[in-house]
Amino acid sequence: MKIIAKDRKGKEHILEGRDGWSVMEILRDGGLDIAAECGGACACATCHVYVTDGWYEKLPEPSESELDMLDMALAVEPGRSRLSCQITCNDATDGIKVTVAPE
Amino acid sequence: MTAAPIETDVAIIGAGPIGLFAVFELGLLDLKCHLVDILDRPGGQCTELYPEKPIYDIPGLPIVTGQELVNKLLEQISPFNPQFHFGEMVTGLEKLADGRWKLKTDVGTQIVAHVVVIAAGAGSFQPKRPPVPGIEHFENAGDGMGVHYAVRKMETFRGKNILIAGGGDSALDWVINLAPLAKSLTLVHHRDGFRAAQHSVNQMRELEKEGKIKFHVASVKSIHGEPGKLSSVTLSGADKKEWDLNCDAFLPFFGLTIKLGPIAEFGINLHENMIPVDTARFQSETPGIFAIGDINTYPGKLKLILSGFHEAALMAQAAFHIARPNEKLRFQYTTSSSSLQKKLGVS
């Protein structure tokens, strides 16, 4: 399964997802500059990404706690913004496209 | 006014779990500690980011929340009576002629110590700065003017046109508190929903209904004025429609993020924002300055709380030799040493 991720400089990275891992973990493991300060606890909003190319709609809806936490993210774009620690890699997300949001 | 410097054995920068446990290990060796932290309470990331989240990899504690761990550490170190300086950021570090170190904080506290221990995690918690080009030119513009990430004196905002951004408790609290003083007050948030206490949301809605404030689902795209003197911002609404709003003050409330901060300017060697240390003493390349926990780096480093505890124990042994050069260190176990048990208040 693949994750196609654009970093803050606009460079595209094709990363190998791992079943059950979060997209945040794959981005971090792949060396992208993503703070993820709380380590994936949905507690800091520093793993904010834009989910693009029709993938936002394909994902399960964000939880109430994720929506709450997104209030603390910067440059939130409704219909695109997600916390990457709350997106789980699996067959259904194979090929997902994300862009790391600005700091 | 500058108060006389505080003199102590060890100054610890950062009161997270590792800084707290360092007090214990140093305390067993009779070294007294002062701790400085930019947050207003102990615990660092554990209490700021995940107080309620369970941690599963603390030895001997199969499950413990961030807050519980911090509470237990505070209990464990209380016999050593550590002195805390909360809400302060260490801004300067200088070596004195007698070999000791002098720390200065942003509010003027000075601490002179034999040893400095940096246990600052990933750095200091600072307000998030919205990604608006040039916003930094409007920070520190003076009382009630320009961009502010906190309200120190409400009165300075009287008669001003104020824009507040954010959807959490801080944003709404300041909407409610500043509305009666402001000439005009506008709140913007990216959605018509708030992560805040319900009574605050109700009060905000009421103010909006009475026409005392304006609320828009929008975000700030650009900021205008002379450097230091804000005049307006461009807002972008949900439908991407843009418009200008005149304002004197812009208060963004998006919580905190971690920045390395002034540590970068202490003259200590850094590698990718971390402090290289040796693994026998966890001393930086500057003798007398130690680094433990997430802030340090060495071959095989794992950013785990348990690794930081180990680092604190070894650091304390090395710190003793610097702080007490003429004394012999005798290693003892808390299980069998009556003198250690006396220090802990259990014998």
Query: For residue A82, what pLDDT band results from cuts at 50, 70 and 90?
Result: very high
Place of tokens 């399964």: A1
Give yes or no for residue B344 having a pLDDT over 90: yes
Would you call A78 and B238 a contact, using CB atoms and an 8 Å cutoff? Answer: yes
Out of B49, B129, B195, closest to residue A71 by CB: B195
CA distance B259 to chain A (A): 10
Closest CA to A79 of A47, A45, A54: A54
Residues B240 and B263 reside in one and the same domain: no
Residues B300 and B275 reside in one and the same domain: yes
**Homologous superfamily assigned to A2-100:** Beta-grasp domain (3.10.20.30)
Out of B45, B238, B254, closest to residue A72 by CB: B254
Name every chain B residue with its beta carbon within 8 A of the beta carbon of A28: none
Tell me which of B254, B280, B302 is where a domain ends: B254
Residues B244 and B153 reside in one and the same domain: yes
Interface test with chain B among A25, A38, A69, A71, by most B beta carbons within 10 Å: A71
Query: Is B69 within a domain?
Result: yes
Q: How many residues are present in chain B? A: 347
Residues B134 and B88 reside in one and the same domain: no
Would you call A35 and B219 a contact, using CB atoms and an 8 Å cutoff? Answer: no
Query: Is B47 within a domain?
Result: yes
pTM: 0.82
Residues B268 and B318 reside in one and the same domain: yes
Summarize the confidence of residues B287-291 as an average pLDDT.
Answer: 97
Closest CA to A75 of A6, A3, A8: A8
For residue B172, the surrounding DSSP H or E stretch is helix B169-178
Percent of chain B with pLDDT over 90: 82
**pLDDT for the residue B186:** 98
Inform me whether the C-beta atom of residue B238 falls under 8 Å from chain A C-beta atoms: yes
Give yes or no for residue B63 having a pLDDT over 70: yes
Beta strands A2-6 and A12-16, pairing class? antiparallel
Query: Is B27 within a domain?
Result: yes
Residues B296 and B185 reside in one and the same domain: no
Summarize the confidence of residues B275-295 as an average pLDDT.
Answer: 97
Query: For residue B2, what pLDDT band results from cuts at 50, 70 and 90?
Result: low
Domain range for residue B160?
130-254
Residues with Cβ within 8 Å of residue B262, at least 6 apart in sequence: B89, B90, B91, B92, B124
Query: For residue B12, what pLDDT band results from cuts at 50, 70 and 90?
Result: very high
Beta strands B64-65 and B54-55, pairing class? antiparallel
For B66-121, how does the pLDDT look when each residue is reduced to its tens digit (9 = 90+)?
999 999 999 999 999 999 999 999 999 999 999 999 999 999 999 999 999 999 99
Inform me whether the C-beta atom of residue B258 falls under 8 Å from chain A C-beta atoms: yes
Would you call B254 and A76 a contact, using CB atoms and an 8 Å cutoff? Answer: no
| Domains held by chain B: number | 2
Tell me which of B237, B254, B271 is where a domain ends: B254
Residues B51 and B89 reside in one and the same domain: yes
Name every chain A residue with its beta carbon within 8 A of the beta carbon of B195: 67-69, 71-72
- Which ipTM score applies to this complex? 0.71
For B171-199, how does the pLDDT look when each residue is reduced to its tens digit (9 = 90+)?
999 999 999 999 999 999 988 989 888 99
* Cα(B50)–Cα(B233) distance, integer angstroms: 34
Residues B160 and B44 reside in one and the same domain: no
Query: Is B154 within a domain?
Result: yes
Percent of chain B with pLDDT over 70: 99
Would you call A75 and B130 a contact, using CB atoms and an 8 Å cutoff? Answer: yes
Query: Is B1 within a domain?
Result: no
Give yes or no for residue B259 having a pLDDT over 80: yes
Residues B155 and B115 reside in one and the same domain: no
**pLDDT for the residue A21:** 95
Residues B116 and B21 reside in one and the same domain: yes
Which residues, numbered 4 to 33 in chain A, qualify as contacts with chain B under a Cβ-Cβ cut-off of 8 Å?
Answer: none
**pLDDT for the residue B3:** 75
Query: For residue B227, what pLDDT band results from cuts at 50, 70 and 90?
Result: confident
Out of B131, B219, B255, closest to residue A72 by CB: B255
CATH of the domain at B27: 3.50.50.60
Residues B101 and B181 reside in one and the same domain: no
Residues B273 and B301 reside in one and the same domain: yes
Closest CA to A4 of A37, A48, A47, A51: A51
Tell me which of B220, B254, B288 is where a domain ends: B254
CA distance B180 to chain A (A): 25
Closest CA to B315 of B121, B32, B118: B118
